[in-house]
Amino acid sequence: MLSLKGKTAVITGGGSGIGASMVARFAQQGAQVAILEVDLDKAQHFVAEIADPSLKINCYQVNVTDQSAVRQVMEEVIVNHQSIDILINNAGVSQIGSLDQTSEQDFDRVFGVNVKGVYNCLFSVIEHMKKRKQGVILNMASVAASVGIPDRFAYSATKGAIRSMTYSVAKDYLSYNIRCNCISPARVHTPFVDEYLKTNYPGREEEIYQQLATSQPIGRMGTPEEIANLALYLCSDEAAFITGTDYPIDGGFIKLNT
Distance, CA of 174 to CA of 172 (rounded, Å) = 6
Residue 119 among the catalytic residues: no
Assess contact for 24 and 198: CB atoms under 8 A: no
Write the DSSP assignment of 91-128 as a string of letters. Answer: ------B-GGG--HHHHHHHHIIIIIHHHHHHHHHHHH
Burial (0-12, 13-18, 19+ Cβ within 10 Å), 106:
middle
Distance, CA of 27 to CA of 7 (rounded, Å) = 10
Distance, CA of 185 to CA of 195 (rounded, Å) = 19
Cα angle 148, 151, 156; round to 5: 50
Give the bridge partners for 249, in sequence order: 185
Assess contact for 185 and 227: CB atoms under 8 A: yes
Write the DSSP assignment of 20-72 as a string of letters. Answer: HHHHHHHHHTT-EEEEEES-HHHHHHHHHHH--TTS-EEEEE--TT-HHHHHH
Assess contact for 183 and 229: CB atoms under 8 A: no
Catalytic site residue from 155, 167, 201, 247: 155
Q: Which of 250, 253, 227 is nearest to 90 (CA)?
A: 227
Catalytic residue numbers read: 155
